[in-house]
Amino acid sequence: MPDITATDPATATADNPVQGIDQTAGNFSYKIDYEFDAGTGLSEQTIRYISAVKKEAPWILDFRLNALKQFQAKPLPTHWATKDLENIHFDKIRYYLAQGQKPKRTWDEVPDDIKKTFERLGIPEQERKFLAGVEAQFDSEAAYSNVKELVAKQGVIFLNSTEALREHPDLFRKWFGKVIPTGDNKFSALNSAVFSGGSFIYVPKGVKVTHPLQAYFRINAESFGQFERTLIIADEGAELTYMEGCTAPKFSTSTLHSAVVELVALKGAKIQYITVQNWANNVFNLVTKRGVAHEEAEIKWIDCNIGSRLTMKYPGVVLKGRKARGEVISIALANDGQHQDTGAKMIHAADETTSNIVAKSISVGQGRSTYRGVVHIPKHLKGCKNNTECDALLINTNSRTDTYPAITVRGNANPTQHEASVSKVSEEQIFYMQQRGLTEGQAMSLSVNGFVNDLASQFPMEYSVELKRLIDLEMEGSVG
């Protein structure tokens, strides 16, 4: 079997104490013999290959080919976004790598090297502790997928997209690409052309899934592009919490991650979607996430971005039914060499819909964080409300932050408010804590944790503890 050629995490940390910490937890890779490899570069052949190995129905191949055309026709959005996008070499990326086509139901069946990867990341342990189901994706396909029996008995479907397309084609097709059309943007078109993996979840009417379902996305190969496709449908009155985590080893070449996530919350349903994004900082993370909330439904995105080289992600909610509610809670931490371009979109499309956006960003070293948002309230809607708050904290003198909200309100029945502030850690606070015996670094960590505390407390316990730890580590050595 393959050798272990893991890079040593210890040396990676020594180079830059501020940078790697959390990323080094995932900074190792195994040499895998891939059974399926679409090669380097993107063409019609690549897509035919992917579709063939997945044994897909003809309509999916057509869907993919059409998406490829749209991807090739669309320019990069550099007229408003960063020019760093031009450094993505689409012809040098490997679009599909898989060791097998069918995920295993028990960890014992998962090949050793892949199992070792997830054990190092603590996934099986978390599953035992508090999850209702887990899907673990390794490069293009899920290596492991399981949902607890109790949850499965309630009729909850939790599969990866490849399996779901085979087993529930009608249900999948009904909602697939409806929330985020192929041509929404260049990267949603790319995902639509080469998507593989990701979760498909269906929660039947009235079923409330008490424990979170989790997906874990792992990139192992160099110059790889991961394009998972997630579709979650919560039927009337259903409730679920979905969490996703991700890591990748740090390679010298850039890696691309471009997911599309679609959520549908039918009448009275509630979906909470939690992301802790912790890619290595050679990863371009360009993700399109959007949900549709029907009458009295609620969609809440909790989005935490700590890793990656460039993240561009603006989770959105289309408030389609009366009294629907959308919320985005966003935390971004940008360290040296990182640009977190995150935000939220709230599209009000029915009366009495409400939305709330709270975004907090921290820029450390030469890190750059950007908030971009859209709030749209069209004419003749009544009783819509939006609240947007974005706060930025700048740690070092060369840190940078930008805010670009866009708010459109038509009519006089819909109040909105937007507020943003930029500040640095208060010298007085630091002084106060140092007076009481804390080091400057500890004081800084405490102060930054305080800054995000009201948001972090909304995370499930395990994540909020993890987040605090990450912030502590990222802040180490940043003072001065």
Q: 141 or 391: whose CB is closer to other proteins?
A: 391
Pairwise CA distance, residues 360 & 159, whole Å: 33
Identify the residue among 210, 253, 421, 439 touching other proteins (CB under 8 A). Answer: 421
Nearest distance from C-beta of residue 420 to other proteins, angstroms:
5
431 binds other proteins (CB under 8 A): no
Candidates 49-57, 321-329, 418-426, 429-437; binding stretch for other proteins (CB under 8 A)? 418-426
Shortest distance, CB of residue 288 to other proteins, whole angstroms?
19
Identify the three-state secondary structure at position 260.
Answer: strand
Question: Residue 174 and residue 79: Cα distance in Å, rounded?
Answer: 34
CB of 389 to other proteins, least distance (A): 10
399 binds other proteins (CB under 8 A): yes
CB of 418: closest distance to other proteins in angstroms? 4
Pairing state between β 416-424 and 385-394 = parallel
3-state secondary structure of 25: helix
Nearer to other proteins, 74 or 166 (CB): 74
Interaction between residue 415 and other proteins (CB under 8 A): yes
Q: Could you tell me the smallest distance in angstroms from the CB atom of residue 467 to other proteins?
A: 22
Q: Is 410 in the site for other proteins (CB under 8 A)?
A: yes
Residues ≥6 apart with Cβ < 8 Å to 397? none
What's the closest the beta carbon of residue 426 comes to other proteins, in angstroms? Answer: 11
Print the binding letters for residues 79-118 with other proteins: x by CB under 8 A, - otherwise. Answer: xx--------------------------------------
How far is it, in rounded angstroms, from Cα 93 to Cα 28?
Answer: 20
d(CA 240, CA 209): 5
Question: At closest approach, how far in Å is the CB of 315 from other proteins?
Answer: 20
Decide if 415 contacts 381 (C-beta within 8 A).
no
Nearest-angstrom CA–CA distance, 301 and 326: 8
**In the window 235-274, what residues touch other proteins (CB under 8 A)?**
none
CA distances from 99 to 86, 144, 316, 421 (A): 31, 12, 34, 48
Which range of residues in 144-152, 201-209, 250-258, 417-425 is near other proteins by CB under 8 A? 417-425
Answer yes or no: are the C-beta atoms of 163 and 135 closer than 8 Å: no
Nearest one of 421, 386, 422, 425 to 406, comparing CA atoms = 386
Q: How far is it, in rounded angstroms, from Cα 336 to Cα 18? A: 9
Closer by beta carbon to other proteins, 80 or else 437 = 80
Sign of dihedral through CA atoms 62, 66, 67, 68? positive
CA dihedral 36, 41, 42, 44 (to 10 degrees): -70
Q: Verify binding: residue 420, other proteins, rule CB under 8 A.
A: yes
Q: How many residues bind other proteins (CB under 8 A)?
A: 37
Piece of the chain touching other proteins by CB under 8 A; list 152-160, 180-188, 220-228, 419-427? 419-427
Of the candidate spans 36-44, 46-54, 346-354, 392-400, the one that interacts with other proteins by CB under 8 A turns out to be 392-400
From the list 246-254, 340-348, 420-428, 432-440, the region that binds other proteins by CB under 8 A is 420-428
Confirm or reject binding of residue 401 to other proteins (CB under 8 A).
yes
Query: Which residue, 240 or 384, has its beta carbon nearer to other proteins?
Result: 384
**What are the φ/ψ torsions at residue 118 (nearest 5 degrees)?**
-70, -30
Strand 368-377 and strand 339-348: the pairing is parallel
Residue numbers 338-367 binding other proteins by CB under 8 A? 363
Q: How far apart, in whole angstroms, are the C-alpha atoms of residue 388 and residue 375?
A: 9
Please select the residue that binds other proteins; options are 85, 171, 422, 479, rule is CB under 8 A: 422
In the bound state with other proteins, the residue whose beta carbon lies nearer, of 57 and 420, is 420
* Distance in Å, CB of 18 to other proteins, minimum: 16
Rounded CA-CA distance 309/331 in Å is 16
DSSP 8-state symbol, 477: T
Structure tokens at 436: 């009481």
Q: Enumerate binding residues for other proteins (CB under 8 A).
A: 79-80, 363, 379-380, 392, 394-424
